[in-house]
A and B are shown apart, each in its own frame.
Chain A
Amino acid sequence: MQRIGDAPVLRRTLIGAAVALAALFLLLPLVAIFAQAFAKGLGGFWSNVSDTYTLSAIGLTLFITVLTIPVNLVFGVMLAWLVTRFQFPGRRLLQTLIDIPFAISPVVAGLVYLLLYGRNGWVGGWLDAHDIQLMFAWPGILMVTIFVTCPFVARELIPLMQAQGSREEEAAVTLGASGFTLFRRVTLPNIRWALLYGVILTNARAVGEFGAVSVVSGAIRGETNTLPLHVELLYQDYNTVGAFASAALLALIALFTLAAKAGLEWRATRREASA
């Protein structure tokens, strides 16, 4: 008795095709990045990475990421709590609205922010009169980054919190727990892995965001240039090694993120197996 897919020829062909495609489209570019970055040796890589403008781009990227994560962490948890624990008119609409940043092109998002908060924008005019500059400065970059990454935490939490239901929280309340105790001792422990997973995804996207940021940043070297923008600038300057050195840094962050994600998933399956 043979099941579908048991034919050895078919199986080998499929596995072979999958491996070949993965190597060609995923692995090869990664190898190419590091090969190019180290094309002039370790010294060439280092001199590019330790360049003032590169360092400032790294700094800005990390700064934006470090601010984005807590904002979206709090926002995501609040939103997921609201949507899964309360019934109110417009709840479904809100759940759909959460997905807007996923649905919309980041460049469009950037343009909308520019239209609203730029010097000639609706809100921007008023801000300009009060000497507040958001666009072409780090606050603008932060705003679009938060916009682009805001669904990640909420999207991870909503299905989980829906599946878990509110029974444990109700039990905690009947036992006299106050709102904060309830969150700290019952809700948070139940969602912590999903929360961490959401943070990892937020982190990856915040570090790598290009489209929306490129519209609102102005890419002023040493001031509003993030790492992904820096890669493009260097490349346009025909500094291939420099561009790839910065790209390698981004790739390293991505690899680290992937490892953390895989680690969490491994932990989750192990926990399920033991339960």
Chain B
Amino acid sequence: MSIHLENIAKHYGRGGRHQALAPLDLDIQQGELIGLLGPSGSGKTTLLRIIAGLEAPDHKPAGRILFGERDVTQLHVRDRRIGFVFQHYALFRHMTVYDNVAFGLTVMPRRQRPSSGEIRARVHRLLEMVQLEKLAGRYPAQLSGGQQQRVSLARSLALRPDVLLLDEPFGALDAKVRQELRRWLRHLHDELNFTSVFVTHDQEEALELSDRVVVMSDGRIEQIDTPEALYRAPANRFVFKFLGDANHLEGEVRDGVLTCGDARLDVDLPDGPEDLLLRPHEVALDTAPRESAHLPVTVTAISPVGAEVRVELAADWLPGPWLATVRHADFERLTLSRGQRLFALPRRWHRFEDSAPAAHDSAALLAG
């Protein structure tokens, strides 16, 4: 089922002083898996709860929420046919796993309710699907976090919802379980073909799991795009910085040279102040400066764990430290050690004006 949001806004507090969501539009296609990504306070959970009907959007301006062709704006949560997975699972603590999953079926009006035999069969199928048949008689407090989250998913799927909404579904789990559940959710989504929206503050999770990611900040949508497009072409400075580590290069451009203290870099930009951004993997290190780039730095920390070595760099001309990732081979060639003085060579940098983003391959390495 597709989801269509039109002019949805939310204000809190007396007289609506605090804005949680600026008026926004959003279209989600049938069968899509959408990630709402943003820092805390960006309004992503509020948006999810408004889609669910757990919170009402502002009446003025009057917004609309459509599920497919159906206008659900005025519809109560219980009639929207959604599955909702809560951040801390919200399992009924006094009920067994079985009773938790069966709840939605047992509270249906008598006329629509399936027979007790069918309820039993459906609950067992769901428990089988989340691989928890053996724990049907346990209470939530006797389960691990990952198991509780799977019960919560099974419970939300019992009524065969068209739309599955998940609020930070993996936030409280440790890294390994999170990875496993992510893969499992993706699989489940593809198999059952419902429309899913999940909220996360973890960019890696959003990029890995979603068909499209909605990046939010301050109650506004900053960008909606596929993970690849988002990472390659962030719409603005906020999206760029939120999707990964970013190094700042701030300085003054004059006659095609950006200077900042005793550092300088050839750039093809008009005169004026600039604040360029670089990803850690876009910073190379060498023992000598180039004609086109003179950026002296000192190594302050080294973390050799993982596919690449992470090196922290500092310099007088830098307001904050830079982060560079170096291949292990280069790391050994340069025999890096803390306190060593080197030169940074930007491979590529990004520049954001108010609206037009731009990425430039640096002349420094091409020339060198």
Contacts and interface: CB of A to CB of B under 8 A. Distances in A.
A and B are interacting partners: yes
Contact of B92 (A89, A172, A173, A181): A172
Given A171-B84, A175-B104, A190 B93 contact: yes
A69 to B, nearest CB: 24
Contacts of B315: none
Contacts of A174: 52, 54, 77-78, 82-84, 156
Interface string B348-361: 00000000000000
Interface string B252-268: 00000000000000000
A168 B92 contact: yes
B107 A178 contact: yes
Contact of B104 (A176, A186, A190): A176
A7 interface: no
A161 B280 CA distance: 48
For the complex, would chain A's binding face be called helix, strand, loop or mixed by DSSP majority? helix
Given A171-B84, A185-B107, A190-B94, A177 B78 contact: yes
Contacts of B82: 174
Contacts of B103: 172, 175, 177, 185
Contacts of A170: 54, 77, 84, 86, 90
B107 A177 contact: yes
B340 interface: no
Interface string A247-275: 00000000000000000000000000001
Interface residues of B, number: 27
B141 interface: yes
A175 B159 contact: yes
A167 interface: yes
A89 to B, nearest CB: 8
A275 B142 CA distance: 6
Nearest to B77: A173
Interface of A: 89, 167-168, 170-178, 181, 185-186, 189-190, 275
Given A168-B90, A177-B107, 20 more contacts: A89-B14, A168-B93, A170-B54, A170-B84, A171-B92, A173-B78, A174-B54, A174-B78, A174-B82, A175-B103, A175-B155, A175-B156, A175-B159, A176-B78, A176-B107, A178-B78, A178-B107, A185-B92, A186-B92, A189-B92
